[in-house]
A and B are shown apart, each in its own frame.
Chain A
Amino acid sequence: MGRARKLFGTRVVAAASVAALTLVAGCSGGGDSDGKTEDGKTVITMGLFGVMGIKETGLLEKYMEENPDVVIKAEIAGDEQTYYTALQTRLAAGSGLKDIQGIEVGRAKELADTRADRFADLSGVPDTDHFLPWKQSQVTTGDGRVIGLGTDIGPMAVCYRKDMFEEAGLPADREEVAALWDGDWSKYVEVGKDFKKNFKGDAAYLDSASGLFNAMIYGSSEQFYDKSGKLIYQDNPAIKDAWELATGAARDGLTAKLRQFQPGWDPGLANSSFATTVCPAWMLAHISEKAGEANKGKWDVAKAPKGANWGGSFLGVMENSPVKEEAKKLVAWLTAPEQQEHIFKEIGNFPSSAKALESPAVTGAESEYFNNAPIGEVFGAAAQDIPDEQVLGPKDGTIKDTFSQGLQLVEQGKSPAEAWETTDERIRKAVD
């Protein structure tokens, strides 16, 4: 009996240890597929985030129909931050990666600098010379490797409330509105002062100071870093100007003190808390959804003082993928002008392909919600206006968020000098 108990005990221990070991092994083991299904089809896996429009608009089904020997499995993470954290750990571990991985522009530089060897070089892929010149330069490493192909971009315009402009005695026609601030963001703020003086309701002129700040800095080719990778935000005149103008607007009470995409902003859209917001092309879908049917036709889109780009993504192929060549082919197809046009028509993500930008389907596009604004023309012009070189830095995203918080401090009543000091100190701690 004692023996039986002992044996039982040993078995339990053994079983438990095995179970625990398998658990541990399960964590570290690579989940990479061997690239084939049982019936010999090629399997390509994709890791995407947010609404990139690739799966949502049925492009993957279309590709599989045209290529019956290919099966595509796409996994989409809702939140880019979560997605990128997972991607980083997988890159470090060298396992669990998909064949194709999406890259957000804010991460492009960091990946190109630190992980270029994990990505296949796409510079030689045929028919990929149709992109805007600055788009591909963002994912090109120093030695000429291209780690991704561009999907969309975010040229910016100003979305404004036609009805509120009329009430404030300002011109409401989009051509005339654009002329009010043509070429200079400080004119945009001047219009805001007029608006505040003459508008009777309690809506603010713009939603947040950081929206204005971002629009201004993204219109210059260097923001926080220079080409050699040195931090220059402290002396960069583009940053200084944007900071001064944005904090000035905040001090003058022109902002609704909201945070874009955070609680308060959506109800602000629905309840008309502000009259303008600087909007990249991809924001229109969000505005029309959140502002709702009740505000249809009240919104309009005017050209921004200067062209600028906010956001956009890329698709990269992993160097170790067993189906690297097939994946390259798929990425080239997904980012081809025809497919970019298709995504633009379906959900409004703006093409990064210069060729797609010229097509009548894009140039002639109008938005019914925004008072039939010719969005293809407005954003297309903004896209041409974006500086040909866009210098990125490894911590762009973090620095941008820190500046947004610095501007919030000013909106909450801190002096711009004090807020600048806090921001500067925080950035130095974050990047060192």
Chain B
Amino acid sequence: MATSTPASGLGGPQSGPAGPTKESPDDRKGARPRRPWSTLLHRFDIKAAPYAFVAPFFVVFGAFSLYPLLYTAWISLHDVELATMDIMEWEGFGNYSQLWQDDRFWNALANTFTIGVISTVPQLLMALGLAHLLNYKLKGSAFFRVAALTPYATSIGAAALVFTMLFERDFGMINWFLSLFGVDNVDWESSKWPAQFAISSIVIWRWTGYNALLYLAAMQAIPQERYEAAAIDGASRWQQFTKVTVPGIRSTIVFTIVLSTIGATQLFGEPLIFGQGPNGVSGGADNQYQTLGLLLYEEGWKNYEMGRAATVAWAMFLLLILAFVLQRVVKRVKSRTS
């Protein structure tokens, strides 16, 4: 290696006569000054190149995620209107304390939670069942798998619009269907639970197939031998499902729970389109299905109060962090006790 650089001739020959035992330390000492140039470059290359390769992502991340995040935090400390974004009035944590005292925030938080629960729990359970069925040897299994994924491929806008028409009070298909059983027209939009149920059904419809496919992929990775062993031990189908399948896809289940929780916290498009017009923005005339995402939108794009909208955005972010920390704590406590 040393010979490949012209600088190598400097120390070597002179240190030669000093005796065989001392030769190598001498040589090392003499070579030291030229080493940085040759090897440092190489080492820098090895050390820095990976960073260089990931840098594009972080440049984009910095420009489109980190900077907006910090700027939002900055805005949330001010009183700013959209029309006059250049005029910012310092508020300190005023927006935050106001939000804490605002009924609308707690109402939106509660709605986000309830809609989240009634859309995520059935969604994941149904996905699990669906994946289990798809895991059997079926004729045309490819068709069923693609069919399960199609709702996911439709846009939120289209799906929510169609559901809004289905749930329409006077001429919607669902009320027509219910009327066959003598049920009076339900005003889905204007009452709290029907509205939240209707919105959940949009979410469930869109995401069940997607989660089912994730589960299916994980299920197919479970070795067949386990089922055979379980069968030899006399485990029933149901026991095989609960004792072999579910533990086998545990990490995927955790993954989908995390994803759906994040999705539920940010729920926005479905209620906005479901409400249509001013009612979409405020989540119903009585805010009966206003989520945190909608509250943010109402503050920002109906009241044009960017400072308050940014505060809601940060509150949502902090809530996610809080949920994450809680989950870690619970996990640690659990592992310590067991």
A398 touches B303 (CB 8 A): yes
Q: Is residue B211 contacting chain A, with contact meaning CB distance below 8 A? A: no
Q: B164 at interface (Cβ–Cβ under 8 A)?
A: yes
Which residues of B are found within 8 Å of A414, using beta-carbon distances?
286
Q: How many residues of A contact B (CB 8 A)?
A: 49
Contacts of B168 in A (CB 8 A): 263-264, 267
* A409 and B102 in contact, given A12-B53, A88-B83, A273-B170 (Cβ under 8 angstroms): no
Flag if B190 contacts A88 (CB, 8 Å): no
Q: Which residues of A contact B7 (CB under 8 A)?
A: none
Contact code string B75-94 (vs A, CB < 8 Å = 1, else 0): 00000001111100000000
Q: Is A408 an interface residue (CB 8 A)?
A: yes
Contact of A16 with B59 in the complex, beta carbons under 8 Å: yes
* Complex interface residues of chain B between 1 and 56 (CB less than 8 A to chain A): 41-42, 44-46, 48-49, 52-53, 55-56
Give the CA-CA distance A115 to B84 in the complex, in Å: 9
- Contact in complex: B83, A114 (CB < 8 Å): yes
In the assembled complex, how far is the CB of residue A338 from the closest CB belonging to chain B, in whole angstroms? 35
Select the stretch in A3-11, A133-141, A182-190, A224-232 that faces chain B.
Answer: A3-11
CB proximity of B172 to chain A, nearest CB, Å: 9
Smallest beta-carbon distance B204→chain A, Å:
21
> Which candidate, B259-267, B274-282, B325-333, is the interface stretch facing chain A?
B274-282
Chain A residues within an 8 Å CB radius of B85: 89, 92-93
Neighbouring B residues of A268 by C-beta, 8 Å: 170
Q: Which residues of A contact B318 (CB under 8 A)?
A: none
Most central of B46, B49, B190, B285 by chain A CB within 10 Å: B285
Across the interface, do A20 and B59 meet the contact criterion of CB distance under 8 Å? yes
Min distance, Cβ A150 to any Cβ of chain B, angstroms:
22
Q: Which of A3, A17, A93, A429 has the most CB of B within 10 A?
A: A429
Report B-chain residues with C-beta under 8 Å of the C-beta of A10: 52
Interface contact B282-A2, CB-CB below 8 Å: no
Contact B302 A398 (CB under 8 A): yes
Which residues of A lie under 8 Å from residue B165 when comparing CB positions? 263
Distance in Å: Cβ of B1 to nearest Cβ of chain A: 12
Indicate if the CB atoms of B52 and A89 lie closer than 8 Å: no
- Which residue of A is nearest B302, CB measured? A398
Q: In the bound complex, do residue A405 and residue B41 qualify as a contact, i.e. CB atoms below 8 Å apart? A: no
Q: Cβ of B277 and Cβ of A405 under 8 Å apart?
A: no
Closest Cβ–Cβ distance, residue B175 to chain A (whole Å):
11
Q: Does B319 touch A at the CB level, under 8 Å? A: no
Whether A430 and B279, one on each chain, are in contact in the complex, defined by CB atoms closer than 8 angstroms, is no
A82 to B133, alpha carbons, bound, how many Å? Answer: 45
Q: Are A408 and B56 in contact (CB under 8 A)?
A: no
Give Cα distance in the complex from A404 to B282, angstroms: 12
A92→B86 contact, CB < 8 A: yes
20 additional contacts, CB 8 Å, given A257-B190, A264-B168?
Answer: A2-B41, A3-B41, A5-B49, A6-B44, A12-B55, A17-B56, A20-B63, A24-B63, A91-B83, A110-B83, A259-B277, A262-B277, A262-B279, A263-B164, A268-B170, A398-B302, A401-B278, A405-B278, A414-B286, A429-B102
CB–CB A404/B278 < 8 A: yes
Name the interface residues of B176-209: CB closer than 8 Å to any CB of A: 187, 190-191
What B residues does A431 contact at CB under 8 A?
Answer: 303
Whether A271 pairs with B171 at a CB distance below 8 angstroms is yes
Residues of B within 8 A of A429 (CB): 102, 104, 303
Render A255-274 as a binary contact track against B, CB cut-off 8 A, 1 for contact: 00101011110011001010
Q: Quick one: given A92-B84, A114-B83, A264-B169, are A405 and B56 in contact (CB under 8 Å)?
A: no
B113 within 8 A of A: no
Tell me whether B314 is interfacial, beta carbon within 8 Å.
no
Q: Are B83 and A405 neighbours in the complex by a CB distance under 8 Å?
A: no
Q: Which one, A13, A88, A92, contacts B55 given CB within 8 A? A: A13
Q: Are A259 and B49 interface neighbours, CB within 8 A?
A: no
Docked pose: A382 CA to B200 CA in angstroms: 47
B301:A85 contact, CB within 8 angstroms: yes
Given the known A-B contacts A85-B82, A405-B278, A405-B285, are A9 and B56 also in contact in the complex, defined by CB atoms under 8 Å?
A: no
Q: Is the pair A412, B56 in contact by a Cβ cutoff of 8 Å?
A: no
Say yes or no: A267-B170 contact (C-beta < 8 A), given A9-B53, A16-B56.
Answer: yes
A1-44 contact mask (Cβ, 8 Å, vs B): 1 or 0: 01101100110110011011001100000000000000000000
CA distance A412 to B83 in the complex (A): 35
Chain A residues with CB under 8 Å of B84's CB are: 92, 114
B60 lies within 8 A of chain A by Cβ: yes
- What separation, in Å, do the CA atoms of A6 and B46 have in the docked complex? 8
Given the known inter-chain contacts A114-B84, A263-B164, A263-B165, please indicate yes or no for A412 contacting B102, CB distance below 8 A. no
| B55 cross-chain contacts in A, Cβ below 8 A | 12-13, 16-17
Contact of B285 among A23, A92, A263, A409 (CB under 8 A): A409
User: Is B304's beta carbon under 8 Å from chain A?
Assistant: yes
Which B residues are CB-close (under 8 A) to A88?
82-83, 304
**Whole-angstrom distance between the alpha carbons of A3 and B52 in the complex?**
14
Of all chain B residues, the one with the shortest Cβ separation from A107 is B83
**8 A-B Cβ contacts within 8 A?**
A5-B49, A6-B49, A9-B52, A264-B171, A267-B168, A398-B303, A429-B102, A430-B303
Please name all residues of chain A whose beta carbon is closer than 8 Å to the beta carbon of B44 when the two chains form the complex: 6
* In the complex, chain A residues whose CB is within 8 Å of the CB of B170: 264, 267-268, 271, 273
- Which residues of A lie under 8 Å from residue B277 when comparing CB positions? 259, 261-262
On whether the beta carbons of B41 and A267 are closer than 8 Å, the reply is: no
A2-B45 in contact given A92-B85, A263-B168 (Cβ < 8 Å):
yes
A395 to B48 alpha-carbon distance, docked (Å):
55
Q: A92–B82 contact, CB under 8 A?
A: yes
CB pair A259–B279 under 8 Å, yes or no, is: yes
Chain A residue with minimal CB distance to B190?
A: A412
Residues of A within 8 A of B302 (CB): 398, 401, 430
CB-CB contacts below 8 Å: A163-222 with B: none
Q: Which residues of B contact A2 (CB under 8 A)?
A: 41-42, 45-46
Q: With a 10 A CB-CB cut-off, give which of B83, B191, B282 has the most chain A CB atoms.
A: B83
Residues of the A chain whose Cβ atoms lie less than 8 Å from the Cβ of B187: 257, 412
Q: Look across to chain A and name the residue whose beta carbon is closest to the beta carbon of B191.
A: A412
- Closest chain A CB from B32 CB (angstroms): 20
Tell me which residues across on chain B come within 8 A of A92, comparing CB atoms: 82-86
3 cross-chain pairs, A with B, having the tightest CB-CB distances, nearest first: A16-B56, A9-B52, A408-B285
State whether A408 touches B190 (Cβ < 8 A). yes
Give Cα distance in the complex from A267 to B304, angstroms.
33
